[in-house]
Chain A
């Protein structure tokens, strides 16, 4: 049975780490804020010079903020896991009654906290800076946010599985893998821009549906349910695959004895 107390204990471990290094908190908010400022100016320029974008002044900012949700959600899982590896603490954790599934739930909870810490300041600052309130999207924003969080968790958990399998030599995956999906996610352009052969691949990835859905809300004022169901279905599939992959990698680490002495 899942113990919320043990899940909470792992979260507490990472909250203590954040508390011990306030610079980390600043860093979390720093990149989304910098991105927001950069894309805010680009957005302002485009809205003055592009009739298409002028229809929805906040499209680029909303896209940037939502892409950062995916990026931070992935990083929130994988960096929390890496912190355990760097501290060489996995051995202690897994000789305690902590179950791997409880550990994954804790990583996802920490990912949510880290993402909110990073994204909320940037989203709030966009209001005075560019008179753009991403929260005005309303309920669809919550839906898009949730879908991208889950995709980020799946990616992060899959990366943790790879790090568990290949050791700290694979740690850079935490930062780079997500960008491989950026071109086919349709963050700043519709999927129809992609070559025909690439479009089915893009639509097999939940963010493509989220960003298409976002543009439909912002440009046409409609919520396309088909995109939502597709994103939810794909997210369930990928989260199950990533979770299964992690448990397999965990079992492999137990077989190799890598839990007590993981390193480069």
Chain B
């Protein structure tokens, strides 16, 4: 793993998102060091997707701020969008278009040069060369995930935001994706921020974890620190302790 730089890639301050009387996110404050991999964990409805959406600038916060590489996402997102990208199994690419067509469109949206070469290289890296001319909607879940990742890596993002990057994948494909992400971060020094329900994945990939419950960060720290703090052997047990409110940390979170 690379050593995270000291300058933060993401600075979130007292971030709130309310829908009427309901606070989906209620006063989040955290920073993510550049070059690190950070996971946002929490049960369904904990506020992970809401938080990711605000980081991406597609959801306006009720109050608080998100700064990415020093740019305020409310007022200056255009300056930073070319340096970040996003992938989620829940946001599709047009299924009727071929993989190559989809990647070409996004390459132009990111104003990239040498589009054909870039797509060829990425396709080779992600082992999707054989499906480049196939309609995206007819691919298997594993192939779709690789294609979505190819789209997310087209612009060599300095910040990669991933929503459940290995959801519904078989163990082999999931492992392949995790290995690729590790290599990408090692090679590029990019910051990766991901939401996941796969605790083994988080333990393997992440330098730090934010545990959410009820729209707030309930605990945070390096995976090893959380295990120690909760006196548990796996992050899954820590997750269950927090999600079910059945056990507090042995010591106060840092």
Contacts and interface: CB of A to CB of B under 8 A. Distances in A.
B109 A93 contact: yes
A96 B81 contact: yes
B162 to A, nearest CB: 12
B94 A9 contact: no
Contacts of A20: 96-98, 135
A88 B19 CA distance: 23
A6 B111 CA distance: 7
Contact of A87 (B50, B56, B93, B108): B93
A251 B60 contact: yes
A97 B154 CA distance: 13
A208 interface: no
Contact of B86 (A8, A92, A98, A251): A92
Contact of B109 (A17, A87, A97): A97
Contact of B78 (A12, A13, A97, A251): A97
A251 B58 CA distance: 9
Given A257-B58, A260-B58, A89 B94 contact: yes
Contact of B60 (A91, A98, A254): A254
User: Taking chain A's interface residues, is the majority helix, strand, or loop, or is none over half, making it mixed?
Assistant: helix
Interface in B69-113: 78, 81-82, 84-86, 88, 90-98, 101, 104-106, 108-111
Nearest to B79: A97
Most buried by A among B19, B96, B104: B96
Contact of A13 (B57, B81, B105): B105
Contacts of A6: 108-109, 111
B53 interface: yes
A16 B97 contact: yes
Contact of B111 (A3, A13, A83, A92): A3
Interface residues of A, number: 33
Nearest to B104: A12
Most buried by A among B49, B82, B97: B97
Given A89-B92, A92-B91, A260 B53 contact: yes
Interface string A251-264: 10011110111000
B151 interface: yes
Contacts of A49: none
A97 B60 contact: no
A94 interface: yes
Contacts of B88: 91, 260
A95 B104 CA distance: 16
Contacts, number: 100
A221 interface: no
Given A87-B92, A89-B94, A97 B105 contact: no
B58 A94 contact: yes
Given A9-B105, A96-B81, A91 B58 contact: yes
Contacts of B85: 95-96
A92 B93 contact: yes
A21 interface: yes
Nearest to A9: B108
A254 B58 contact: yes
Contact of A8 (B49, B58, B108, B110): B108
Contact of B82 (A9, A10, A21, A97): A97
B59 interface: yes
Given A10-B105, A13-B94, 20 more contacts: A6-B111, A9-B105, A13-B97, A13-B105, A16-B105, A20-B97, A87-B96, A91-B58, A91-B86, A92-B91, A92-B151, A94-B58, A97-B82, A251-B60, A254-B57, A259-B58, A260-B56, A260-B88, A260-B91, A261-B90
30 contacts: A5-B111, A6-B111, A10-B105, A10-B109, A12-B104, A12-B105, A12-B108, A13-B94, A20-B96, A20-B135, A21-B96, A87-B92, A87-B93, A87-B95, A87-B96, A88-B91, A91-B86, A92-B106, A93-B109, A95-B56, A97-B110, A97-B111, A254-B58, A257-B50, A257-B53, A257-B58, A257-B59, A260-B49, A260-B56, A260-B88
